[in-house]
Amino acid sequence: MIDLRMLNIEQRVQWALENLNPNFALTSSFGAQSAVCLHLLTQQFANIPVILIDTGYLFPETYQFIDEMTARLNLNLKVYKSDLSPAWLESRHGDLWNKDLSGITQFNQIMKVSPLQKAINELEIKTWFSGIRSQQSSSRKNTQIVEQRGHVTKFHPIVDLTDRDIFLYLKKHNLPYHPLWEKGYVSIGDIHTSQPSLGMDDSEKSRFFGLTRECGIHEVNFKK
């Protein structure tokens, strides 16, 4: 098998599109540096489904960024949500994100993981492109370019890119960071569990009050 580490990111995407099992999709949180993968994938597969999991608790700036990038790249955006609205969730469970790690885990399962599983099943996705990078957190440092998650192949074309690589790609293609990047946010999720990392000794503490880094989306194993 070809050593994907020896290919540049454009060549990796080309290889995946030619050799992995369709149907293809890209997930995006429309976070700090999400424009890189959105641009990278749509340059070779313009109509690739872009799955957004909308918890209903995203920052206003994130919704604006979603609209901006969707218009700019003509994205084939597929928005998935929990069966529970934020108001209904809170009426049943209260503020789960304030109930330590168990509450955060339950919130993520209801509002993020379950909608992702629904998206993968409904769209019959076989190859899932993701923009996660090993430099982002300790929980991602051993991530491989290609991984098998049940019947779904997960492909990480930019996994070994550094922050500088990201900056250079954005600059080369005149792409924006998320607007909250300049306010010190390096990881941007829901409004109640994301903080700017300015002054923190560890940027991983800027998500979920430092209790965890992962929301569960990138740890799912899909069953047929």
Q: What φ, ψ does residue 155 adopt, rounded to 5°?
A: -125, 125
Burial of 160 (0-12, 13-18, 19+ CB in 10 A): middle
Within a domain: residue 209? yes
Q: Give one word for 208, left, alpha or beta, with left for phi > 0 and alpha for psi -120 to 50.
A: left
146-149: strand order across its sheet: 76-80, 49-53, 24-27, 127-129, 152-155, 146-149
- Looking at per-residue pLDDT, the higher value among 11 and 150 belongs to 11
Annotated catalytic sites, by residue? 215
Average pLDDT over the chain, rounded to an integer: 91
Residue 106 sits in a domain whose CATH number is: 3.40.50.620
pLDDT(181) > 70:
yes
Mean pLDDT of all residues in 174-182 = 95
Token digits of residue 202: 């560890």
Q: What is the pLDDT of residue 78?
A: 98
Q: Which residues contact 35 (CB under 8 A, 6 or more apart)?
A: 69, 170, 175, 176, 177
Within a domain: residue 91? yes
Within a domain: residue 38? yes
Total domains in the fold of the chain = 1
pLDDT tens figures, 207-220: 777 777 666 677 77
pLDDT(172) > 60:
yes
Within a domain: residue 224? no
Proportion of the chain above pLDDT 70, given as a percent: 91
Within a domain: residue 182? yes
Within a domain: residue 200? yes
- Looking at per-residue pLDDT, the higher value among 32 and 1 belongs to 32
Within a domain: residue 32? yes
CA distance 94 to 60: 22
Domain carrying residue 171? 4-219
